[in-house]
Structure 1
């Protein structure tokens, strides 16, 4: 369960009133989220069909951090990237406080995320093109946000996490961090811009075989575009044991390159980015699993994911050198 903030019908009715979307008909907490509280909200204007929306309360991001995401999603939608952008009320405001949490109201898109068994070459091609479009559109976005789980974060957390795991794993973790640091020290010519940061298969909605929305952009920041590609490949293009699936891999990357071509430095450092992306998500799972986050919730509903999934992925990336097709 991931409904951290419980709302009443009166609270939701008062919140939606300025949007002129009609009366509240129904609402239901969504259990699938991890970081935020989400509700399905149904409204109806007199004499009109019912309408469905998603109300999101942000549990970790501050009110002052939220305008970046409002502006980014509106920018991406204007450039035909399929992310949800929030509604604005009759006074032009998208962002407000609800139960003392920043809150946004979004359209509800049809569809659901794919089960891993449903991911095939066509879906990977769709996501490769979509991620490339997001990266190209983001090049024109003026605001900058630094990742809260980037190089500084993992350099500080890595040694603490290494003490919680076996010696072989600790060595592999610290080697991966050192490899990334060495790459950055060489000042490679890697394009930077807006990245999604978390485009796993459960953050894309498909409806009748078609992509309907790319969701959960709240890890977006400015980073190496290649790092974002690696994060996505490490989830979408894998076999059950975490190794690369060649068919899915080639489909995703060829489709991506049709929209945004890779430069020579990206070709050179690609495998290093696959390693870094696997390390970053292994480390974030270790942080939660071992209670290493000083800001971790104490409400008893923190969602734990198995860190060993990404340990295995990292092991494969460090042992099997990959190239861009």
Structure 2
């Protein structure tokens, strides 16, 4: 099991990662997300031994790295998958996967499993982006690392390919039984692929939990906003129920929230109906998303709520609408700001 205790990394006088604590179980996939500059890639580099750590300890089986004992990368048996694939352009697929590999049978296994058999003799300039990333993954897995670090592995691919390849990568990692830490900017990718999700903010881990818990029970407003569209409306928490201007909802208090509170609403927690007169809000803007439309509605009390409904619902900015909370599951409740 990979164990990280109070890991801190400084660049000069600037602390980039601050007291990170996490443990990675066998075959677990941990997704790390956060805004640009929050320390995601620095964490991967520190785990791989590519940069020195300032404080704390990284432990895995036979080795333990600290500020006083900087274990070199070649002693850690870590695999890395990069966003730019890092393939040798003059080598074939077979040669890339077999590079510095003692047992070619391991290369054959992963080449076959990742659907690359017909491309064994092809060089990288003949491959698509998805094929290149599968080659990079096959090369990593063939070397039997004790854990794998993936740094934005799908960021250079088009949206349609990302959706299918993320599941191929997850399946391969699970088949290999290798734990992995996967850095991404894509919240949907993080929530759908990871066994757990870690949300970073300014070098600190804001929350580390299952995707569903992080999304439905965020530990802070930052986490709530980062993992998806988030609206906060005023209400009053009374015996587990939040009373608001657009209806009541069951509430889960965060940090002891009580009394006058703000209720977290996701766009799917609310129903929208156009009205000719009356209603409780006015459309500010609308975005067509193909299968759905996303509306921003200014309530009569000045609060803005984002609502996602079927693309068949049509209403223009300036139109009056009726909003109602429709969720039946508990929603996160924060102390009023």
Structure 2 length as normaliser, TM-score? 0.22
Instruction: Decide which structure has greater strand share.
Output: 2
Which structure: larger Rg?
Answer: 2
Bigger proportion of residues as helix: 1
